[in-house]
Structure 1
């Protein structure tokens, strides 16, 4: 992790959410070997898409642009917890370039 990032929520050493002051407050979602850079609006949209997907089942894939983040049973809820702990997310979904499939 870079020195200018502040960890705002953590599940493990390899799964955490950090915030940095670059570009007005970008979030960095670290999930195993991948790191996703998201705006606050994009993070809110991701949480809403994930919540909708979890309402349909326990497993799935959330697409962040062209990259899919696959999660197994229980991991989706852990990811949603991480996003909510690290930010104050709006209830209404925000627009972004994400899609989800099961």
Structure 2
């Protein structure tokens, strides 16, 4: 997993909104464009970035392509962030202990 590409993809507010929508239910680019204040063409570009980062997958259903969030990838990102947070918590606790030492 390319963590940097994943976080870069999530750094855009529109892509984050797209991912939140897809986390609720799979959708086509057209359906997402109706729900978000973005054109269908822009949604397609955002979906390409998210798919390239492995955060969404697509499959053809009839004449349209439906996208859905990849839960395993998102869970892995969450675990990595949690690991960083725990390390910072340990550092801050050690700093607090030192600061409160007489």
TM-score range, shorter chain: 0.3 to 0.5
The structure in which a higher percent of residues are strand is: 1
Query: What is the TM-score with the length of structure 1 in the denominator?
Result: 0.34
Query: What is the TM-score with the length of structure 2 in the denominator?
Result: 0.34
The structure in which a higher percent of residues are helix is: 2
Q: Of the two, which has the highest radius of gyration?
A: 2
